[in-house]
Structure 1
Amino acid sequence: MNGKTLKYGFTTGSCAAAAVKGAAQMLRDQTLIDEVDLHLPSGDTARFPLHGCRLTGKGATCYVVKDAGDDPDVTNGCHVHATVEIDLFTKHRILIQGGVGIGRVTKPGLALKVGEWAINPVPRRMIMEVVKEVFALRCVPATITITISIPNGEELAKKTINERLGIVGGLSILGTTGIVKPISTEAWTATVDTSVNVALACGSDTVVLSTGRSSELAAQLHLRDNGIHLKEESFVMMGDHFGYSLESCHLRKVPNVVVAGQFAKLVKIACGHRQTHVSSAELDLAQVAGWLKESPGLKHLEPLAREANTARHLLEESGFSQGLIDLVCRKAAETCETVAPGLPVRIFLAGYQGEKLYFG
């Protein structure tokens, strides 16, 4: 990006599994260690330094400092703790539980059942694998209890959409490959899928896909003021991933969809961009100018569209022309029909002061 090679990082799932492996080895050997090697689901092997290592009466504990690389992740630098305890001559089983800073699932539609700790399936499998690896030769029946915790997890979770998804009390232990890719499209689109699943599981018949927080807030305010009370789960932040998000709703047969954005983003959608951060504004505005040229009553805005610096500049200089707004929103609706044929979609245009400029 911009000539810089971005650094990959590790998921909370990898950090948890590495901490568990370290604690398990210390418990087995009754000696402290300072690092472990972990095989990741991606096929790679990574080395994790261990911190806070100590032995207890019937267990061991340590933590891994999460390194998210160059990904803008709120969990970067957090301490993922693992405590492994063993009770000999008891039922043969491995228990995985959450501690301080780990959330619990309270809504359906996630990969975990309601009531379970928010430790996702792949991290759970990674933890099970390292425990079985470390205690492979154990013959005495025993219960092994693994507790994962993140001391400031509850505070960090406030900066995520966990609560909206129904994960309360802390963070989730996540990851499918074990690796965090910088500015990960995969992570964002996976969140979109999960959010749509949760909305449907909570009984929502409408999903509002917004390009950003400002357009989401504007849509929430307008709908509420007009007697349309949607559940919190109905609002899904799609960011720049318009095409993927609409297809996600189409695949899951969402009954009604609202695409909410400010003018610049809707211009990009109107121009057919599935990713609203791609393509230059200059090319988009040239396309808008072409539409204006062919539109009765709007031809006078063509020169403005060709000279404007940005889409916002065009909107403001046009005096917030209702004809221009209607044209762009109609074209955006046509793109929605192309991307997801037959999906009922309405367009919501949010003004730059949080007002509604169009909804239809």
Structure 2
Amino acid sequence: MKPRSGYTLPVFATAAAIAALRHLHQQEENKKVWVNLIEAAQTVEIEIEQVAQIGVNQALAITRSDPGDNLDITRNTPVWAIVESTVRSENLQSLSARIKTENEWLEENILIRGGEGVGKLSNELGKSAIYQYARRLLQENLQSLLQNDEQITVTIILPEGRKLAQRTSNEAFGVVEGLSLLGTTGISQPLSASEQLEVYQQALIEKAQQFETLVFCVGENGLQLAQQMGINPAQLLKTANWLGPMLVTAALQKVKGIVLFGYHGKLIKLAGGIFHTHHYLADGRLEILTAHLAQLGLPTSNLQQVFNCPTTEAALSYLRKLDQENHTHWVKAVYESIAAKIDQRSQEYIRKQAEQSVCVGSVLFERDRSIIVKSEKGINLLEKLLG
């Protein structure tokens, strides 16, 4: 059976905003609203769970995320939109004044705000992580519904956003305190399905015919950083969470060298023998980090602190602080240990699954895309790639 596609978070936020605005206009209510996705070029029905007036010229509507058959942490999470309507006699200067203090997004006569659970961009003075497609979707769907001289403020709330964000790498890439309204399309394709793996494998097979050494990037940040370093884009491959099958496919295609290029909070799983890195299937990141630190001799009280950190990024910050206060080198030591284990485990995995020998090196980077560690094999392979 073909995997079922769904919709991205911006679509549900827009649907809730449409329902809230229609309620303010006292229009006939329906359990569903139509949303023009713009990208793709189609209009879809989205179910509305609840809608109510909560103040003077203010209404709240709630819907729930449905990403289809993706392994997505936002599945069934509530998405709220509060819409406040005012007449344009206040003119757009009132919205402009508010945007200077609230630092949100102004789209013509629609002010878009991120409320509780919507992440903030740490590198843009706390501006809400509501990206261009989401803003365009809200603006184009709501603009045609506005009455004469009406201007509105739309506040998107993700009540479970802070909690869910702890299970993502958002903070590592500059989104804090919640989830982002991200995407370039309204359709949520099931990228975790086996069909997507086949697409990645086919791209690998084609590249393996041209190059003996390839660079595996788990996500977009790795791809961008690898290109910034000067690595030939033709030798880069996105793997998503399918590292195990991709390593085996590369070995069967007689690839001689592979550089694993990724965020430390993702690649660390390989050091524990976890070769499908989606959090739905396995985690163990803090356990792996703690085990390596124990082997290196970190005192028990510090090990407990690391183990109880909410994320690997928080654990890295703790270790950095520890190094600074005590003039130690735990970060360098533990990440060199982890990188070497990633290489070892990957090569063993390939030998076991494909009965082939491939040189695997690793490069781990952190939240600001600065590199934490390059394994010894990773350094050697990079010299060939950049030479």
TM-score grouping bracket, smaller chain normalisation: 0.5 to 0.7
How far apart, in 1, do the equivalents of 2:46 and 2:382 lie?
45
Task: Tell whether 2:68 aligns with 1:69.
Answer: yes
The unaligned stretches of length 5 or more in structure 2 are: 93-108, 201-216, 228-260, 272-284, 298-311, 317-338, 361-374
Q: 1:43 aligns with which of 37, 41, 44?
A: 41
Structure 2 residue aligned with 1:97: 113
SS in 2 for 1:154: helix
1:14, 1:178 within 8 Å by CA — same for their partners in 2?
yes
- Pairing 1:122–2:133 present: yes
Which position in structure 1 is the counterpart of 2:81?
82
Q: Distance between the aligned counterparts of 1:188 and 1:208, measured in 2?
A: 8
CA RMSD in angstroms comes to 4.1
2:148 aligned to 139, 146, 168, which one?
A: 139
- Residue 219 (structure 2) aligned to one of 160, 167, 189: 189
Mapped to 2, the partners of 1:282 and 1:164 lie a distance apart of 32
- The count of aligned residue pairs is 247
Equivalences for 1:105-116 in 2 at 5 Å?
105-106=121-122, 108=123, 113-116=124-127
- Per residue, is there more helix in 1 or in 2? 2
Distance in 1 between residues matched to 2:352 and 2:4, nearest whole Å: 29
Give the C-alpha shift of residue 103 in structure 1. Answer: 1.6
Contact conserved, 1:196 with 1:207, CA < 8 A, in 2?
Answer: no
- Counterpart CA distance in 1 for 2:69 and 2:353 is 30
Change (3 A) 1:170 1:267: same
| Maintained 8 Å contact 2:74/2:164 | yes
Instruction: Give the CA deviation at 1:45.
Output: 2.6
Cα distance change of structure 1 residues 74 and 192 upon mapping to structure 2, 3 Å threshold: farther
Name the counterpart of 1:53: 51
2:168 to 142, 155, 160: 160
Deviation of the 1:71 alpha carbon: 0.9
8 Å contact 2:219–2:262 — kept in the other structure?
no
- Closer/same/farther in 2, CA of residues 86 and 183 from structure 1, 3 Å limit: same
Residues 1-360 of structure 1 aligned to structure 2 (within 5 Å): 4-40=1-37, 41-56=39-54, 57-88=56-87, 89-92=89-92, 93-106=109-122, 108=123, 113-135=124-146, 138-140=147-149, 142-184=150-192, 189-190=219-220, 192=222, 211-213=267-269, 215=271, 232=313, 261-266=342-347, 281-283=352-354, 285-287=355-357, 330=377, 336=382, 340-342=385-387
* Structure 1 residue 181 displacement after superposition: 1.6
Q: 2: distance between equivalents of 1:260 and 1:96?
A: 46
Per the alignment, in what secondary structure is the counterpart of residue 91 of structure 1? helix
Decide whether the 8 Å contact of 1:103 with 1:168 is kept in 2.
yes
What do residues 220-255 of structure 1 show as CA deviations (whole Å, max 9, x unaligned)? 967xx79xxxx959x9xxxxxxxxxxxxxxxxxxxx
- Paired amino acid for 1:48: I
Q: Deviations over 1:62-101 (max 9, x none)?
A: 1221011111111111011111111112123311001121
Normalized against structure 2, the TM-score is what?
Answer: 0.53
Q: Check 1:42–1:147 CA distance in 2 against 1; reply closer, same or farther (3 A cut).
A: same
- Secondary structure of the residue aligned to 1:97 is strand
Residue 31 of structure 1, CA deviation: 3.9
Deviations for 1:289-347, whole angstroms, at most 9, x for unmatched residues?
Answer: xx9xxxxxxxxxxxxxxxxxxx9xxxxxxxxxxxxxxxx975x6666566x434xxxxx
When Rg is computed on C-alpha atoms for both structures, the one with the higher figure is 1
Q: Which runs of 5+ in 1 are unaligned?
A: 198-205, 236-257, 272-279, 292-310, 312-327, 343-360
Question: Is the 1:62–1:82 Cα contact (8 Å) retained in structure 2?
Answer: yes
